[in-house]
Structure 1
């Protein structure tokens, strides 16, 4: 099991962002908490992930996240989609994270 970060290349204002995803929701949320990414920034629509800036990416890598290229990121996404489709606990964790992100956005 692992957390993955791709190469920063997505401009948002003055920041350059990358994706952070994981083999499980538990790992993804634990890493977000560890590196200080608020759960309201959870991105559930395309694939469960967080968009993180380069500084947070560096913290994630220092905490054990695996640096991956686009192909490896796509493979991790495919594996996690399969897990979401077959594991009721993983689906429940996803739904919980999605609900918390929506709630956090409304309160933020």
Structure 2
């Protein structure tokens, strides 16, 4: 399994109380929580399917093997995890989300 971290910090939405933040996600909650512990993040900061990670911890996470992804990929992968139970491949994430929306909207 793999842990991923996005580049949300590059966008306005990634700013919180003067900090720049990224989403950290994984297929397995256990793996996500273990990485959070390694980064010194509190369990109370878990937001259901991800952690918001400050920029300084993001650099540490990457040095520990967390895979960099885009904000768009993270959004698509989070939806896929809800639908299919796995984040899937980041390179296929946006295309998967488009397909999911297309199928979902056919029933409207």
The TM-score normalised by the length of structure 2 is 0.68
- The answer as to 2:5 corresponding to 1:5 is yes
Structure 1, unaligned stretches of length 5 or more?
85-108
- The answer as to 2:8 corresponding to 1:27 is no
Once the 2 structures are TM-superposed, how far is the Cα of residue 79 of structure 1 from its aligned partner? 3.8
With CA pairs under 8 Å and 6+ residues apart, which has the higher RCO, 1 or 2?
1
Displaced runs of 4+ in structure 1, greater than 3 A? none
Structure 2, unaligned stretches of length 5 or more?
87-108
Deviations 1:49-77 (A, max 9, x none): 00110011111111111000133213432
Q: Distance in 2 between matches of 1:57 and 1:39?
A: 17
Give the alignment's Cα RMSD to 1 decimal.
Answer: 1.6
Write the mapping of 1:59-70 to structure 2, written as runs, cut at 5 A: 59-70=60-71
SS at match of 2:73: helix
The TM-score normalised by the length of structure 1 is 0.68
- The answer as to 2:85 corresponding to 1:83 is yes
- Change in CA separation of 1:55 and 1:80 when aligned onto 2, cut-off 3 Å: same
Equivalent residue in structure 2 for 1:16, among 14, 20, 32: 20
Deviations 1:12-67 (A, max 9, x none): 111111111111101100100111101010101xxx10011001111111111100
Which position in structure 1 is the counterpart of 2:47? Answer: 43
Q: Distance in 2 between matches of 1:16 and 1:39?
A: 19
How many residue pairs get aligned? The number is 81
